Amino acid sequence: MKKIINAPKDVVEQMMNGMAHAHSNLVHRVGNSRVMARNYKGAGKVGIISGGGSGHEPTHAGFVGKGMLSAAIFGDVFTSPTPDQVYEAIKAADQGAGVFMVIKNYTGDVLNFEMAKEMAEADGIEVEYTITKDDVSGGESTYSDGRRGVAGTVFMHKILGYHAELGASLSDLKDIAEKVNPNLATMGLALAPATVPEQGKPGFQLGENEIELGIGIHGEPGYEKASLMPSKDIAKVIFDKLNAYLKLQKDEKIVVMVNGMGSTPLMEQYVFINDVFNLLNGVGVHVAHSYVGDYMTAIEMAGLSLTFFRLANETWLQALQAPVETIAW
């Protein structure tokens, strides 16, 4: 295992401290907790939190700041944060109007965030939440009950953050989230696995010319191993999966995200999105905006994911394009 670390057991703590030092103009670590909070208060507005296992950077703390998340929680690598850690984030985010939680659909996350909600409500803080389920690949859900929450979750952060900044209530945000969720579709693939520092070995194995289709962001199994193929063929496989779910119509407008999983060069990501644009142009679907880069990674996994977001509401594009003050957006 080759990694630029000191000791595997210290990775998350030292990463958090490094992030807080490097971006002290935007965020701060809440005491010795596993919570990173924005310096901007947003007094009187609903706070928004998200979190999960570390190893997905810049998700989640990279999206903490004015216009997006109020706070983010770091679990151990690929491990859900505890209820106590989530509760610390709720308290840090609360500015008197309650706190909205964005939870990716993984069993540990859902259980622990729900327990933290109960703890907060016992102390008089109103809490609501949504569970993102944008992975439509049909891969094995070894960490979740049903479809996994993956890179499309970042769009949820952005849209809810925009509306919270405008003064939306908890019930408003719940309604928006319920409308956004079914319009998100994501699928990923892996070319090579990631190595969790404390395990010291790859999380799965692939042959030299083998890829895994439908992989999860922790290295969960996909729905099929396949031979390596040209980018345009991979794009067609994923396009067909996303379109089977969304059933895109001619002249529809969507937002597209190509998300690197940690070690896929931008060169390859741009080749891939070029193939995606060709497919969308072929069926008459318009791309209103696109994103390319590492948004939700799996440590150093080689591979990428593709997200389509149907713009079923005319305000959603405005929400995505609104300026924010965060580390990574």
> What is the domain-level CATH number for residue 283?
3.30.1180.20
Give the model's pLDDT for residue 146: 81
Please report, rounded to a whole number, the percentage of residues in the chain having pLDDT higher than 70. Answer: 98
Phi, psi of 328 (to 5 degrees): -120, -10
What does the pLDDT look like over 187-241, one tens digit per residue? 999 999 999 998 888 888 899 999 999 999 998 888 999 999 999 999 999 999 9
Q: By three-state DSSP, how is residue 213 classified? A: strand
Residue 326 lies in a domain: no
What does the pLDDT look like over 259-278, one tens digit per residue? 999 999 999 999 999 999 99
CATH number where 162 lies: 3.40.50.10440
Residue 167 lies in a domain: yes
Q: Which residues of 288-327 are buried (b: 16+ CB within 10 A; e: fewer)?
A: eeebbebbbbbbbbbbbbbbbbbbeeeebbebbebebbbb
Residue 329 lies in a domain: no
Task: Kindly state whether residues 129 and 214 are assigned to the same domain.
Answer: no
Task: Kindly state whether residues 235 and 260 are assigned to the same domain.
Answer: yes
What does the pLDDT look like over 118-162, one tens digit per residue? 999 999 999 999 999 999 998 776 677 789 999 999 999 999 999
Domain boundary among 125, 148, 182: 182
Task: Kindly state whether residues 147 and 287 are assigned to the same domain.
Answer: no
Residue 123 lies in a domain: yes
Domain boundary among 134, 152, 182: 182
Residue 48 lies in a domain: yes
Count the domains in the chain: 2
Residue 165 lies in a domain: yes
Task: Kindly state whether residues 19 and 145 are assigned to the same domain.
Answer: yes
- Output the DSSP codes for 236-264: HHHHHHHHHHH---TT-EEEEEEEE-BS-
Catalytic choice (23, 56, 60, 163): 56
The verdict on whether 218 is a catalytic residue reads yes
Give the model's pLDDT for residue 9: 96
From the number of C-beta atoms within 10 Å of its C-beta (0-12, 13-18, 19+), residue 221 rates as middle
> What separation, in Å, do the N-terminal and C-terminal C-alpha atoms of the chain show?
30
Task: Kindly state whether residues 126 and 259 are assigned to the same domain.
Answer: no
Task: Kindly state whether residues 65 and 212 are assigned to the same domain.
Answer: no
Task: Kindly state whether residues 37 and 164 are assigned to the same domain.
Answer: yes
Give the model's pLDDT for residue 1: 87
pLDDT at 326 over 70: yes
From the number of C-beta atoms within 10 Å of its C-beta (0-12, 13-18, 19+), residue 268 rates as middle
Task: Kindly state whether residues 137 and 233 are assigned to the same domain.
Answer: no
Task: Kindly state whether residues 153 and 254 are assigned to the same domain.
Answer: no
**238: containing domain:** 183-321
Task: Kindly state whether residues 47 and 177 are assigned to the same domain.
Answer: yes
Give the model's pLDDT for residue 297: 98
Task: Kindly state whether residues 196 and 176 are assigned to the same domain.
Answer: no
Task: Kindly state whether residues 109 and 84 are assigned to the same domain.
Answer: yes
Residue 4 lies in a domain: no
pLDDT at 166 over 80: yes
Residue 278 lies in a domain: yes
Domain boundary among 145, 167, 182: 182
Give the model's pLDDT for residue 141: 67
Catalytic choice (23, 60, 163, 218): 218
How far apart CA 270 and CA 289 sit, in angstroms, is 14
Stronger pLDDT, 142 or 294, i.e. the higher one: 294
What does the pLDDT look like over 41-66, one tens digit per residue? 999 999 999 999 999 999 999 999 99
Q: What is the mean pLDDT of the chain?
A: 96
276 touches 235 (CB < 8 A): yes
